[in-house]
Amino acid sequence: MKKILLILLTIISTITLTACGDTKVPPTESQFTESLTAKNFTIENQTDTLNIATLKSYYIATESQGRYKYEYYVFENEAAAQGYYVSKRDSLGGQGQNSEVTAGNIAKYTQIASDGYSVVSRVGSAILYTKAPNELRELVKEEVKEIGF
């Protein structure tokens, strides 16, 4: 019995540790722009407006009614993206309910506060940020998945 339990524990541990080391491919600029253009968002390339040496591209997608927007950043490497992710996450102040999940090359922070629902998500060298009214939280969750974050 101990042998079987040990074998099962080893298999489960191996699967769990392997899954934690998985890497996800970040969504491309075209995936970001195409998925939100199809939902009538206005997309603007704002790369030249930020003075960040490691930033490759920066887009803002604004919802057709102007209630919320998505900011999409691509950095030259994961280390630069991780640094910006931490900065963006910390700027939210940890108010209200918040949670963070990290695994492999993925990190996602969500916050539900009185002033809205916020998401900062990193996949590899790409980051997605949004802040929307709380009543749109479920819609935003769905869109974030569709974008690839």
- Token pair 């492999």 is at which residue? 104
Structure tokens of 86?
């931490």
Helix, strand, or coil here: 97? strand
Report the half-sphere exposure of 120 (CA within 13 A, side-chain side): 20
Q: State the pLDDT at residue 21.
A: 56
Evaluate if residue 17 carries a pLDDT over 70.
no
Q: State the pLDDT at residue 9.
A: 36
Per-residue pLDDT tens for 105-120?
999 999 999 999 999 9
- Band (pLDDT 50/70/90 cuts) for residue 94 is confident
Q: State the pLDDT at residue 2.
A: 41
Evaluate if residue 10 carries a pLDDT over 50.
no
Q: State the pLDDT at residue 23.
A: 86
Evaluate if residue 85 carries a pLDDT over 90.
yes
Evaluate if residue 103 carries a pLDDT over 70.
yes
Query: 100-139 as b/e, with b when 16 or more CB fall inside 10 Å?
Result: eeeeebbbbbbbebeebbbbbbbbbbbbbbbbbeeebbeb
- Band (pLDDT 50/70/90 cuts) for residue 8 is very low
**Residue 86 burial by Cβ neighbours in a 10 Å radius (0-12, 13-18, 19+):** middle
Across the range 51-58, mean pLDDT stands at 96
pTM for this predicted structure: 0.83
